Amino acid sequence: GNSVTQMEGPVTLSEEAFLTINCTYTATGYPSLFWYVQYPGEGLQLLLKATKADDKGSNKGFEATYRKETTSFHLEKGSVQVSDSAVYFCALSEGTGAQKLVFGQGTRLTINP
């Protein structure tokens, strides 16, 4: 079946540091890929997405590129802020039928001032 594997957390960085959170996937067909973010006490919200190979999703300074050859969708940000502290989830969807999402286990990110 389809699955998503994220780098284990938690991750703690200083403000303005470079961020990478690794995500790899296993899927049949051609999935769409997503990063969702969960701020403390809130539900998940979409951060960025990519629907086909070599697509780059970007939002709020975060970027991720859909790499079919390495089945990866790593999340990056050049300079993190304290407000980026949250849990980040990588997910995939086949994009057809019921459009169910399969999530990775999440990576808790803490940014210290």
Partner 1 sequence: NAGVTQTPKFRILKIGQSMTLQCTQDMNHNYMYWYRQDPGMGLKLIYYSVGAGITDKGEVPNGYNVSRSTTEDFPLRLELAAPSQTSVYFCASTSPDRVYYNEQFFGPGTRLTVL
Q: Which residues bind partner 1 (CB under 8 A)?
A: 4, 32, 34, 41-46, 49, 51, 89, 91, 93, 95-96, 98-101, 103-106
Residue (14 or 45) nearer to partner 1, CB:
45
State the minimum distance, in angstroms, from the CB of residue 16 to partner 1. 28
State the minimum distance, in angstroms, from the CB of residue 98 to partner 1. 5
Edge to edge, what strands does the sheet with 56-59 contain? Answer: 19-21, 75-77, 62-65, 56-59
Structure tokens at 88: 């980040």
Structure tokens at 85: 């502290």
Question: What is the distance between the alpha carbons of residues 86 and 55, in angstroms, rounded to a whole number?
Answer: 25
State the minimum distance, in angstroms, from the CB of residue 82 to partner 1. 22
Structure tokens at 59: 């939002």
State the minimum distance, in angstroms, from the CB of residue 1 to partner 1. 9
Residue (16 or 54) nearer to partner 1, CB:
54
Residue (18 or 30) nearer to partner 1, CB:
30
Question: What is the distance between the alpha carbons of residues 18 and 31, in angstroms, rounded to a whole number?
Answer: 28
Residue (23 or 80) nearer to partner 1, CB:
23
Structure tokens at 98: 């019921």
